[in-house]
């Protein structure tokens, strides 16, 4: 029979890859906890409108990337393409819009129908943080500082630059939008087909275009700088001051617009040059309109999402496999004792495995194959004396240890 394959754009995580992945998620979860963010888990599928109503119909995600289907009962369902809209849905559904601020961390799989390539998959994973109910730029700066500290704890802050922009308030953005439409109209014929279509409906999207044809034109497009209202400029100035206060270095990039429609004011991306075209590892912004679009009251919010696969690739050294001990009984007479030793080691927090079968040599081979650091060898003589031989499998050195002290001994030498 043909061996079945994973679906295009999906991957199995096994061994070192799974350890890298888990390390990214656990590090982020821990750092978010230090900043006072609590973890939420929401379903991986939602009513399609959770996304179609909020991300913007001209966004890449809604226009061509969503996994949507009618379920057996005829409900329109979408596998979540991102976390923020679902968190806002959960905020409203759970009646938490009057219990603000909410500081939310999440981690889990996301689904987008994209062209698979290195760092871009159809099922991928994100870590994310949302600070909901805070309009002060202090919230923006603190949330960005959390992102930077996650990258620092992963040891990748040095290779990821924070690019920062403001999208202003809606008044600033409308004026800028008119300027962009006028500018791109002049060069319409040189734009990619996608961007020609974007021109009428959402010219900001052109700034986010990955088409080479668009990029030279984007470089000389008008920036929002000249169109900011006094209030929007005040917030922008304060944010940059506060980031200095948090010790977060950044580079201003007037072309950062983000791919989804719900952003205003702050927009940012941590970008690396180590991953080719898939260089954005963690990105976000302020989304003050989203909770209202979800049917809740007007609620300010800021957040980010990080790509776990891209961060896992950036990690310098793979997280070490846990130190393991193999318990090697010599003969059936000591089996019962071996079980007690195994369970006692595990109870002491030591990863312990049985070398299941074969003669002594085969069992030691197996201990090596599972990557054990030590073998605990139980012979009849040792058991009679209440001891075991502990063999360091790297050096070959062997010592006899009293069974009562076995766990303590291994913890002290591992
Ligand atoms: P890109 O511009 O690379 O398509 P995006 O703007 O669509 O990214 P966001 O929606 O901001 O991405 O998602 C946040 C992060 O999630 C990205 O910066 C990236 O690290 C990761 N990410 C997004 N899409 C994918 C994907 N298909 N595969 C792997 N990681 C992804
Ligand atoms: Mg994308």
CA 146 and chain centroid, separation: 13
Pairing of the two strands 301-307 and 76-79:
unpaired
CA of 152 to the centre of ligand 1 (A): 20
State the pLDDT at residue 317.
85
Put residue 325 in one of left, alpha, beta given phi > 0 → left and psi -120 to 50 → alpha.
beta
For residue 357 the two structure tokens come to 């079968």
* Atom number in ligand 1 closest to CA 121: 28
CA of 280 to the centre of ligand 2 (A): 10
* Atom number in ligand 1 closest to CA 119: 29
Among all ligands shown, which has an atom nearest to the Cα of 118? Answer: 1
Helix (H, G, I), strand (E, B) or coil at 330: coil
- DSSP character string of 16-76: HHHHHHHHHHHHHHHHHHHTTPEE----SEEETHHHHTTS-TTSHIIIII-EEEE-TT--E
Cross-strand bridge partners of residue 104: 38, 130
State the pLDDT at residue 17.
95
Is the minimum distance from the CB of 208 to ligand 1 under 6 angstroms? no
State the pLDDT at residue 322.
81
CA of 252 to the centre of ligand 2 (A): 21
Is the minimum distance from the CB of 270 to ligand 1 under 6 angstroms? no
* 55-79 burial code (b ≥16 CB/10 A, e <16): bbebbbbbeebbbbeeeeeeeeebb
Q: What is the pLDDT of residues 280-308, one digit of tens each?
A: 999 999 999 999 999 999 999 999 999 99
* Atom number in ligand 1 closest to CA 310: 20
CA distance 387 to 401: 5
Find where tokens 């034109």 sit: 217
CA of 180 to the centre of ligand 2 (A): 22
Is the minimum distance from the CB of 256 to ligand 1 under 6 angstroms? no
Is the minimum distance from the CB of 259 to ligand 1 under 6 angstroms? yes
**78 contacts 70 by C-beta, under 8 angstroms:** no
* Atom number in ligand 1 closest to CA 208: 2
**180 contacts 200 by C-beta, under 8 angstroms:** no
* Atom number in ligand 1 closest to CA 120: 28
Give the residue ranges of the chain where pLDDT is below 50.
none
Is the minimum distance from the CB of 283 to ligand 1 under 6 angstroms? yes
Pairing of the two strands 102-111 and 38-39:
parallel
CA of 190 to the centre of ligand 2 (A): 23
Helix (H) / strand (E) element for 336: namely helix 335-347
Pairing of the two strands 123-132 and 67-70:
unpaired
State the pLDDT at residue 173.
92
CA distance 345 to 406: 8
Is the minimum distance from the CB of 310 to ligand 1 under 6 angstroms? yes
Q: Which residues contact 199 (CB under 8 A, 6 or more apart)?
A: 181, 184, 185, 188, 191, 206
CA of 113 to the centre of ligand 2 (A): 10
Among all ligands shown, which has an atom nearest to the Cα of 124? Answer: 1
């Amino acid at each position: 029979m043909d061996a079945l394959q994973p679906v295009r754009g999906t991957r199995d995580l096994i061994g070192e890859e799974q350890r890298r992945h888990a390390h990214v998620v656990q590090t982020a979860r821990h750092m978010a906890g230090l900043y006072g963010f609590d973890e939420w888990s929401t379903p991986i599928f939602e009513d399609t409108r959770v996304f179609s109503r909020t991300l913007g119909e001209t966004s890449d995600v809604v226009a061509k990337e969503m996994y949507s289907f009618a379920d057996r009962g005829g409900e329109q369902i979408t596998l979540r393409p991102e976390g923020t809209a679902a968190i806002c849905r959960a905020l409203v559904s759970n009646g938490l819009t009057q219990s603000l601020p909410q500081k939310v961390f999440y981690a889990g799989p996301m689904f987008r129908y994209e062209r698979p390539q290195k760092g871009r998959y159809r099922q991928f994973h994100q870590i994310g943080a949302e600070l909901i109910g805070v309009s002060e730029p202090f919230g923006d700066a603190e949330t960005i500082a959390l992102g930077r500290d996650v990258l620092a704890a992963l040891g990748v802050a040095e290779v990821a630059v924070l690019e920062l922009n403001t999208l202003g308030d809606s008044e600033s953005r409308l004026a800028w939008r008119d300027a962009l439409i006028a500018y791109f109209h002049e060069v319409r014929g040189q734009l990619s087909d996608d961007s020609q279509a974007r021109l009428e409906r959402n010219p900001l999207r052109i700034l986010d275009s990955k088409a080479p044809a668009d990029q030279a034109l984007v470089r000389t497009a008008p920036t929002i700088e000249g169109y900011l209202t006094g209030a929007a400029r005040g917030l922008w100035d304060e944010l940059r001051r506060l980031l200095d206060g948090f010790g977060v270095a950044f580079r201003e990039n007037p072309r950062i617009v983000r791919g989804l429609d719900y952003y205003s004011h702050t927009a940012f991306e941590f970008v690396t040059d180590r991953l080719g075209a898939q260089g954005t590892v963690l990105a976000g912004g302020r989304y003050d309109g989203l909770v209202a679009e979800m049917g809740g009251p007007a609620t300010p919010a800021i957040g980010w999402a990080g790509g776990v696969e891209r961060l896992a690739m950036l990690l310098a050294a793979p997280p070490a496999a846990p130190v393991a001990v193999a318990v090697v009984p010599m003969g059936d007479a000591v089996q019962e004792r071996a079980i007690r030793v195994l369970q006692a080691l595990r109870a002491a927090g030591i990863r312990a495995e049985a070398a299941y079968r074969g003669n002594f040599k085969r069992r030691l081979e197996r201990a090596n194959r599972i990557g054990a650091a030590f073998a605990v060898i139980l012979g009849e003589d040792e058991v009679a004396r209440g001891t075991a031989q502990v063999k360091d499998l790297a050096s070959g050195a062997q010592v006899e240890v009293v069974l009562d002290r076995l766990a303590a001994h291994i913890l002290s030498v591992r």
